[in-house]
Structure formats: structure tokens, C-alpha cells
Structure 1
Amino acid sequence: MKLKNKLKILNDPIYGFISIPSEEIFKIVEHPYFQRLRRITQMGLSYLVYPGAHHTRFHHALGCLHLMQKAVQVLKSKSVEISDQEEDALYKAILLHDIGHGPFSHALEHQIIDKVTHEQLSGHFMSQLNKEFNGSLTLAIQIFKGEYHRPFMLELISSQLDMDRLDYLKRDSFYTGVAEGNINSQRLITMLNVVNDQLVVEEKGLYSVENFLSGRRLMYWQVYLHKTGIGAEHLLQSVIKRIQELMEKEIAVDLPKNLEYFIVNPDLDFDSNTHDLEKFASLDDSDILSTLKLGKDHKDFVLSELCSMILNRQLLKIKFTDHQIAPEKVQKHLSQLMLTYNLTAHEASYFVFSGNVVNAAYAKTQPIKILNKKGNLIELIQAGKEDSFKALLKEVKKYYCCFPKLQE
């Protein structure tokens, strides 16, 4: 039974009231593809570190839509020509830019489906919706894919200063309680302009941009690259990897049907096979949580232990260092684990990891252009005279090793 709902205003804890700009966009929000985002956690397993971080991709997408409306209003007030069709397309593109995310967002992006990114899946979902909505998403898809002749529209969706980043930093800051990400998105949007169809920032917004980039860098260290979160994601990825290995050996694993489809069918065709896309549309966080609850009672020690560790938050110990992890150190942890639990080297490798993370505030490959008072465009680092701007270019790499706490 489907009842007609005229709701056009939503109450958001970040921005207050968010309005849905048209009946058709509201129908897209109502679509099962989009409603699935209510069941996709925005920040993966970060709630194991920050208990409040249970917000979803649904929240984020609507927040991005709200900011895009503000950006369009600002640009139009500065005599930037944006037609009604372009405006509608911008709203649809930003609303759907993350619709291709799978369970737990980035945590499992390449585990369940290899070689297909969430951006590509978003494109497939948009193409399917375009068929259902009689071609009304054609322009939105062109903008999303960077095929439209006005580059600033893609920059509003995907760049170093896009509506996506402006929302997720502020939203993730709110739900984690990490104040460094609480950027002034409204101030940044007010400083936007367009020159030669390129997105620029007016000179008086220079320090707001610096604050935004610095806040993002701090959020990466404190939240997105938090060592406990990294360890938890490794465990979750190991669960999927172990399930795949067991099933290849024809060892039965009790799985939700939605997930089982992707484990037993690695060769997927989203370009021409609508069935595969529909199957993916039925997959969400609940399937992974069910898998963990079923897996903790499996006879295989590795799978059972991995699932139990996540469910009970008995996570790995992880240490960061400025130097590469010596292979002997990794081997030491592996040997201890093998001895303690009578595991093979391969089985122990599911619990011991090493790797690195990289964090940089600003990438010159996607320059932010500053519009000075003389009407000239200057790249951000040249526009900022202080040393603090040059510091934004510094890339920091940290190495890590994680292993079970029992090995101390």
C-alpha cells in the first residue's frame, strides 16, 4: 500500500529545516534506491570509536542538497547564469552523488564488489532512475560525469571545495563531537563565485578556506584515520575475505541471501544487467550485521573470532610510527598468535596487519582559485602570504601495525 505524501520540509539537526525543491525530486527521495541510504552508515565502523556516529548516507545526501540550494542562490545573486534546467540538474546530481555506496560505506567498498567504485555504481543507479523518470536526469548525469560544458557545476559536486565536503565535515563533526570539523559552510558558500565557468572564491573568503582545509586535515587524523577505526575496518574486511575463502573450499557459511549473491557471483555486469543492480540495491548494513551474528557461531575459528571481535568490540591494538614497519616485527606478532591459538601462518594473517595512511590538507592537482579585488585569479597557496598556507601542502605519511591485544 502506498499513500501519497506531500511532505516537502525535513528537520535536520545541522541546518534546521531543509526544503525539497520540487515534486519530482521528492519522488526521487521516496524511491527505494534512495531510501536504502537510510540503512547505509555514513562513517562505517566509526561508531565503535565515537558512539554518536550512527548517521547515514541519507542524512548526508539531503544535507548536500540543502547546501547546493544555498550555493545556487548565492551564485545567481552574483549574476551567474544558471538556467532552471541546470539548477534542477545540480540538485539531482548532488542528491544522488553517493547513492552507489554499499554497506558501511568506504569500509567495504572493494571487498564485496571488486573493481567497481561507488561513483561508478552511483552512475548506474542514476541511469536506471533516468529511465524511470522519462529522461529527466540526463543533464544531471552529464554534470556528474564531467561531460557538461560548464566545469563549475561539477566542481560544486566534486572538488576540494564542493558541497559534499562542506556537508560531511560539519555533519561528522556534529555526530562525533569532534569540534575541529565544525566549519562555517555558510560563510564559504557566500564567498563563492564563477569566472569563465570555473568555481572561485572571493579574496575575502581566503582565511575561511584555510580554516576549512585545516579542519578537514584534523578531522582525518582524529576521526577518519583514527587508529581504532582502521583496525576495526581491517577486521570487517577480513570477515568478507574469510567467507569468500571458505566458500571457495565448499565449506558452508550461513549468509543473508542479499550478500550471498555477491559472494558466489564475482563476475557482475552493471552496464547491461539490471538484475545485478537490483540485487545491489537490496544490500545494506543489516546484511553485514546479520552475517557477523551468524558467523560468530561458525565452526571455523578464524571466521568465528573475527565476527565476535567486531560484535563485542574486542578490537585490534594498533601502533602508528613515522617509519615503515619491519617485516620481523609483523612476523613476531604472527608467530605469537600461531603459538597461542595453534593457527597456521595463513590463518594468523587474518588478525595481523601493517600498512600506511596519508593525509594532506590541500592538493595542487585540484587548485582552489582566489578572485582578488582586481579581478585576477590566483591559486590559493600564492594568494595566502602566510607560511600557514604553504603548510597545507605538506603530506604526512604514517605507518601502522595492528594485532590482537592478547599478544602483549
Structure 2
Amino acid sequence: MAYKDEQLHEEKVFKDPVHRYIHVRDQVIWDLIGAKEFQRLRRIKQLGTTYVTFHGAEHSRFNHSLGVYEIVRRILINFENRPNWNQEERLLCLCAALLHDLGHGPFSHSFEKVFKLDHEDYTRAIILGDTEICQILSRISPDFPQKVADVINKTYPDKLVVSLISSQIDADRMDYLQRDAYYTGVSYGHFDMERILRVMRPVEDQVVIKESGMHAVEDYIMSRYQMYWQVYFHPVTRSAEVILSKILHRVKRLYTEGYAFKFEPIHFRSFFEGEVDLQDYLRLDEAVVLFYFQQWAEEDDAILKDLCLRFTNRQLFKYVQYNPNLQMKDWMELYRLFDAVGLDSEYYLVEDSSSDLPYDFYRPGEEEERVPIHLLMPNGDLRELSRQSEIVEAISGKKRTDHKLYFPLDSIEALSDDIPEKKKILEILGR
């Protein structure tokens, strides 16, 4: 029997708080889960620094990846024997679903910004490189790793396959909204996934939704909107991200300047030098990063020490709403005042912006153009969702942006009242 057709003697089942059970019968899926590059995802949190705001948000990329696999597995059971679905693509979809987040690094998005990395590049590198994952996939066929990488990269010719993993209503979003809501303890991310899965239909190049399921999709889109602004962009979480980013910036600068570390950043050396190979990347997980932060809290450099203590002990920056188009003179004055009182504005006065586009219709030729959600009407026609739903129409194409200014209020208040700049700083900050 060919490896791609091998089944386990007995189905393996993972208990899961979101989907109840995750079922594995294919030998290749079981082997991929056991690969060291996939097991590494247990040591990468799904929500980065969100645990400092929502104490339950300790779940990992590992269980999210299993959840995306399970949703795709269930979708494909419903697709069996339906027109437009090629059953030969089944295993490819399952592998791509399982491995779609394989390249995430520690505190992924903050980490990527500092070192100008892209986790999607590393996902492809793991799938195509000298790894256990690649060896397993290659047992199916020599070109199978490339096919999986193409699906995740959204370049695979069969757009229907791609849409299961990456679209405006895909298995990735359906899992993380529910999983993140569960672990953070909020109610916003819940929607009727069972209903959506029942009304999904494959067409030539995308998944569509039967018109009778429109209200379940409306609920899904509003859940996503609420999760972004109530959880993902929470200002306290962003404060932790700001400090995390500034720690990494400070360490990189000190390394470049030849600072004599008490505890050498060996695991970061290739990142500082811009020559990161795959094994360097895979060796760095969140446990390693947090260990370094504890060590650097004892360094002689006052800024690095302070930032590490703040992150480790949750002594976060405070924030005010910030409009970059108004009162610019006052905001720029703050930078001068901070430096004047000995608070390095590069590290202690930080503007942070978040923005989200909850749903968009098709805008051909625009950057990151999005394929919209289509409803399958009773007569067989396809109709774009916002043309049928007044709720979705109200938020379509509307990008919301939020700006905040972060600063260490405790350090400002600790300044002597005899320092004239202190009063001015507090006045500008509205304190």
C-alpha cells in the first residue's frame, strides 16, 4: 500500500476543549504531528503577550494547528461526492491545514517586526528544507512538499483548495476565533460553526455558502470584529508587546555597539547579524526568550534591566489615546521633555497603532486584494455577501485604526517635583 493511503490500525483521538475530539486516521498526519518541528509549536503561544491581559490565554500554536486540521477534515467529509470537489486533493488539504502555522516564532508578530522576518517564509523553509516534516511529506511523492507549501503560500493552482486554508471564511479563522474566545474567557468569538460547515459548498475556485446560512456567516463576521477590538488589540496586551519589542531593540543595539553582556545572547547572535539559518530559527522558542529576559534583568545597562523587569513582573506602560493628526506640536514636545528628564524617548515613549478590516468585497488590483464570501442562491447564482446582508454591508471595506501612546507613568511620577519638565509632561498626557 502506498504511504499516502496508509491508515492507522486504530483511530487516534485528541481531546479538545473547542471541537471535543480531533480525529486522526491517516498515517502521514500522525507522523507529521510527531515530527520535532511540529512539536516545537507547543512552545509557541497562539496569542503572544495576551496572557498578561487574559490569564487563561496560555494555549499554543500546536493545539490551534490541530483545530484547523480538524475543521478541514470535517469540511472534506461534507464535500465527498459533491460536484467540483476532487477527492484526490484530500490529503493535501489536511497536510496544509495542519502545517499552516509551522514557521511562527516566539511572540511571533512582535519578534518578526524587530528582526524583519516573515513566519510564512519559515513555514515554507521548514516544509521544503532538511527537516523531519519534509522527509515525511516526500514519502508521498517528491513534489508533495512543494504542493503543501504552495497551498499555504496561496499559489497552488486549485484556488478551491487554497480557500479552505486562507480566505475570508476559512478553517484557520473559524478555529482561532473560537479557541481564543475559550481560553480568554470572552463570549465574542462564538458563532454557529456547525451551521456554517453544513452549508459550505465547493464551486470551481472557492468555497461558497448556501444562502440559507447567511445569518450564521453574519454572526461569524461580527464575532471576528469583536474579537479583534476586545481581545487581539487590547491596549494592555499592546503595552506588553511594546516593551517586548523595545527589549529586543535594546539588546540588538547593545550587541552591535560591542556591549559586554554578563549573559551572552548566543541564541540571538544570528538574528542580530542578519544571517539566520533554519536551525537557528527552530532553536528559539518562547521558553528560551523568557529565560534570557530573566538573565538580562541583572545586566548593568539600566534600560535593558528596567525593560526586562517590567516585562517579567508585568509592570507595564500606561497609555493615552493618540491622534497623530492633532496636537502634533504637543506630542513632539513630549519627546524632548522625556529626554530632558533622563527617560530615553526611544524606549519610553512609544506610539502604537492597530487597524483591522473586518470584511471586504473584491477590489481587483489592490494590494492584498481579498476574495469575498459568496452566497449560493436557490437558483444557482452566486451573490457577494454584502449585497445580500445589510449587517455585512454596514462594515464592508471600512478599516478602523486606533493609535495609542505608551509611557512609564510610574517613572514620571517618581521624578522630583522640583524638575520643571515633570509638570509639563503630566499636563500633556492629561494626568
CA distance in structure 2 between the aligned counterparts of 1:401 and 1:22, rounded to whole angstroms:
50
2:210 aligns with 202
1:44 aligns with 48
Shift of 1:323: 5.8
Shift of 1:256: 5.0
Q: Where in structure 2 are there 5+ consecutive unaligned residues?
A: 1-8, 362-368, 413-430
User: Aligned pair in 2 of structure 1 residues 124, 362: CA closer, same or farther (>3 Å)?
Assistant: same
Match of 1:15 among 11, 14, 19: 19
1:102 aligns with 105
Within-5 A mapping of 1:260-279:
260-263=269-272, 265-268=273-276, 276-279=277-280
Q: Deviations over 1:45-66 (max 9, x none)?
A: 0000000000000010000000
Q: TM-score normalized by structure 2?
A: 0.85
2:267 aligns with 258
User: Aligned pair in 2 of structure 1 residues 96, 235: CA closer, same or farther (>3 Å)?
Assistant: same
Task: Give the secondary structure class of the aligned counterpart of 1:101.
Answer: coil
Q: Does 1:83 align with 2:87?
A: yes
Shift of 1:70: 0.8
User: Aligned pair in 2 of structure 1 residues 308, 78: CA closer, same or farther (>3 Å)?
Assistant: same
Within-5 A mapping of 1:257-336:
257-263=266-272, 265-268=273-276, 276-321=277-322, 324=325, 326-336=327-337
1:174 aligns with 182
Shift of 1:262: 2.1
Match of 1:380 among 358, 379, 385: 385
1:246 aligns with 254
Shift of 1:281: 1.1
Q: Does 1:399 align with 2:396?
A: no
Bigger drift between 131-140 and 232-241 goes to: 131-140
Q: Provide the aligned C-alpha RMSD in A.
A: 2.2
Q: Deviations over 1:163-217 (max 9, x none)?
A: 1100000000000011011122222222211222322111011111111111111
Shift of 1:122: 0.5
Contact 2:85–2:202 under 8 Å retained in 1: no
Task: Give the secondary structure class of the aligned counterpart of 1:349.
Answer: helix
Q: Deviations over 1:355-402 (max 9, x none)?
A: 422122102242111111111011111122x25533343222222111
Moved >6 Å (runs of 4+): none
2:37 aligns with 33
User: Aligned pair in 2 of structure 1 residues 78, 255: CA closer, same or farther (>3 Å)?
Assistant: farther
CA distance in structure 1 between the aligned counterparts of 2:407 and 2:126, rounded to whole angstroms:
39
User: Aligned pair in 2 of structure 1 residues 325, 66: CA closer, same or farther (>3 Å)?
Assistant: farther
Bigger drift between 391-400 and 92-101 goes to: 391-400
CA distance in structure 2 between the aligned counterparts of 1:214 and 1:305, rounded to whole angstroms:
40
Within-5 A mapping of 1:346-357:
347-357=344-354
Q: Which letter does structure 2 place at the counterpart of 1:266?
A: G
User: Aligned pair in 2 of structure 1 residues 207, 389: CA closer, same or farther (>3 Å)?
Assistant: farther
Match of 2:194 among 168, 178, 186: 186
Contact 1:330–1:401 under 8 Å retained in 2: no
Q: Where in structure 1 are there 5+ consecutive unaligned residues?
A: 269-275
Shift of 1:295: 1.1
CA distance in structure 1 between the aligned counterparts of 2:146 and 2:57, rounded to whole angstroms:
35
Bigger drift between 347-356 and 86-95 goes to: 347-356
Q: Which letter does structure 1 place at the counterpart of 2:208?
A: V
Identity %: 29
Match of 2:375 among 370, 375, 387: 370
Within-5 A mapping of 1:195-234:
195-234=203-242
2:78 aligns with 74
User: Aligned pair in 2 of structure 1 residues 295, 100: CA closer, same or farther (>3 Å)?
Assistant: same
Shift of 1:322: 5.7
User: Aligned pair in 2 of structure 1 residues 240, 203: CA closer, same or farther (>3 Å)?
Assistant: same
Shift of 1:95: 0.7
Task: Give the secondary structure class of the aligned counterpart of 1:401.
Answer: strand
Shift of 1:221: 0.6
CA distance in structure 1 between the aligned counterparts of 2:41 and 2:10, rounded to whole angstroms:
21
CA distance in structure 2 between the aligned counterparts of 1:10 and 1:103, rounded to whole angstroms:
25
Q: TM-score normalized by structure 1?
A: 0.89
CA distance in structure 2 between the aligned counterparts of 1:41 and 1:174, rounded to whole angstroms:
15
CA distance in structure 2 between the aligned counterparts of 1:132 and 1:10, rounded to whole angstroms:
21
Bigger drift between 133-142 and 159-168 goes to: 133-142
Q: Which letter does structure 1 place at the counterpart of 2:93?
A: L
CA distance in structure 2 between the aligned counterparts of 1:191 and 1:39, rounded to whole angstroms:
36
CA distance in structure 2 between the aligned counterparts of 1:152 and 1:133, rounded to whole angstroms:
21
Shift of 1:351: 1.4
CA distance in structure 2 between the aligned counterparts of 1:323 and 1:279, rounded to whole angstroms:
39
Matched pairs, number: 389
2:366 aligns with none
Bigger drift between 59-68 and 276-285 goes to: 276-285
